[in-house]
Structure 1
Amino acid sequence: MKLGCIGDDFTGSSDLANMLAKEGMRVTQFTGTPSEDASPDVDAGVVALKSRTLPAEDAVRLSLEALEWLKAQGCTQFFFKYCYTFDSTREGNVGPVTDALMEALGADRTIVCPAFPATGRSLYQGHLFVNGVLLSESGMENHPLTPMTDADIRRWMGHQTKHAVGHVAATTVFEGADAIRAAIGEEVAAGRPVIVVDAIRDADLREIGRAVKDMTLITGGSGVSLGIPANLLDKSDRIDVAADWSGLEGPAAIIAGSASKMTRAQVERYAASNPAMEITAEMVMEGETSPEEAARFAFEADGTALLYSSADPGTVKAAQARYGRETVAGRLEDFFAETARQLVAGGVTRLVTAGGETSGAVVEGLDLSALRIGPEIAPGVPAVKAEDRDLVLALKSGNFGDADFFETALRVLGGKP
């Protein structure tokens, strides 16, 4: 294994795995740190953790466990993947995990680059934009678990890390890999070893990838991985990972637990002409519905059913105020994990999930240990297949995809273009 990756949630990890596979690497995504060695033909291993919203000490512990396993697989470079919107509280977890990985690897520098222009995430003058809007005005300021109230990634990372934070501006990035590498060296020499690097074009990400060829640890969104496979593989070693994808036919279902603007738009579009069941926090907390009832609705529906709890931010905040933020999140995740188990036990072979926490809960609930990467459904969202059963999935971060994503995902999972 050449590249060892640690993701702080499942949807982001599948996004990273997809990116590496598109660039020709043989990629396996693991659910948590495996207990056995990976296949020797794997170029990149992605250990998907559900650590984004855990207490920082727990996120660090899980990440270090994953690192030790990846080191044992022979990896020569490591990638810590977090969300393009840098989802984290003021205390972490991005900074504490980055610090711990740097220390464990003896790394004297790393970069911070959550940008991916293809999905509307750009980094300019250290500020993160979502579709041209500052992160702190994009809707992410209303995230129920990790509200992002500051778009300055230099400042936000500065709250979290024990290191001084540097910056490589877009004007330098435009000059290419050599200029980027030199600027990183200058920041390290100035005592700023954690370096935010601007990127407003996908071409910038490829140049950044070239610039960090010899860096032990890289951190960022999956976009910056665009330039990494070329450093590790000869052209003759690259493969077409999606060429043999056939998908699966059979019953399908959709579970949406994200409150993001895009997921709410996707829910509205799909529910307008397809069976849908809303599952509110109050219904779950008061025991007014159950996973069995939700699964029964899906099985009895005339068409592929959508089960969703994607409420607007005001409704989410009201439920959190009444029952407690962590309690609501935990109960909803448990609800959808059990619902997914009921669906798969009843014969569902295609499952679409929306929301990082929801997708992570579903993957854990189904006890999926490894996933094979298939074709891309939307930028940042691949189709994946469980290695140990007849089940294909789309694990979507909240803001990804267009309004028709659910219909598109069902087609791709079924083997149709």
Structure 2
Amino acid sequence: MNEQLANQQIVILADDFTGANDAGVSLALAGMQVEVALMAGIARQAQAVIYNSDSRALSKDEAHARVVALIDDIITRHAPGWLVKKIDSTLRGNIGAEVAAMRQACNTAAVIVAPAFPAAGRTTHNGQCYVNGVLLTNTEFATDPKTPVTSADIGSLLEATCRYLKPADVAAALAEATIDAPQLLVVDAETDADLDAIIQQVMSAGVAPLLVGSAGLCDALARALSARKSSPVLAIVGSMSEIAQQQLAHASEHPRVARLLIDIETVFSGNPDSYRQQIVEALEQGKHCLVHTCPDAQARHQIEALCSRLGLSRSELGERICTFLADLTRDVLGEVTPAALYLSGGDVAVAVAKALGATGFRIHGQAAGCVPWGHFLGCEWQRPVMTKAGGFGDETTLLKVLHFIEEKSSD
């Protein structure tokens, strides 16, 4: 890999300097390091890098050539998780030429075009752009002295075959997109919630299309990434009680949950690396990771046979499992920082506390029924910790805990 290659979370290409700054504000407010590059040819290490092509007032051919050259340079220096073409919310500039240039350079299977900026009064309906409820071509932007807008129809300005969609249809359309059958998708948005839905649909589809939009779409992306970044919970469920298993099953209905079953046999292999990697990956993706050792209701009835086969007492088996989970938790926290820890089962909670070097626990309140929350004392881990006795609560308890942390993280 090129030594200059920087794995950026977000790379944005704007067509003017003020637009570049507008695109980056919400990302900075979300806690990211954001840089606007005034020239190409320099590797940037920020979490979000915004380039300015300064091409809004150029001819179509000049704008196309400039964007192709710039995006080629960007691709050699960055491997963005998100690539965004920032455009003006009133469609000024060379939208068709610049989006075509981006598609050509990136060879992407799908492009999402959503120029709406509801907070500034710019909305789209049936592929038409409106400013404060007035069709774009009936506003002052149609007679802009430098870059007048000739059409309110987004597809006409793109000068390409496109599909017009509502936010709820995005994921299905992305599933149909391939390199051989690329999709240019113009998506309506009349509220911030619509823009949020577009980003969520993209995330749920598991693909990374080229995003084309104004600061409104950038704001929605910042909101989504901020939520993913700040709120995941690492839940260590050592209890084999029936209610604990019901709580796991109910919490799995949450849209951002990953469950990881620890095979008891591997507890004695002394190699937790695979589990550690899976947990870290889930948390870095913003998913709540629920780690447990009980595969089903029958497992608890097989403990006696397992102890006999391993030559251990029930107490010795429990200690080995708790130590394994505690060491695994400590190693995970050495690589990634979730929003909170949830420890179900008293023995597991004590083992994790010892592995982290905690000397005590300061109680602050209750996250859900039968679930106190607070902070460990005397150790580096200073984010919230929630503990629950294995048999306490009802089936909704763990899900309520996840919601509690999400709300606390958004305060």
Instruction: Report the TM-score, using the length of structure 2 for normalisation.
Output: 0.49
Whose radius of gyration is greater, 1 or 2? 2
Return the TM-score normalized by structure 1.
0.49
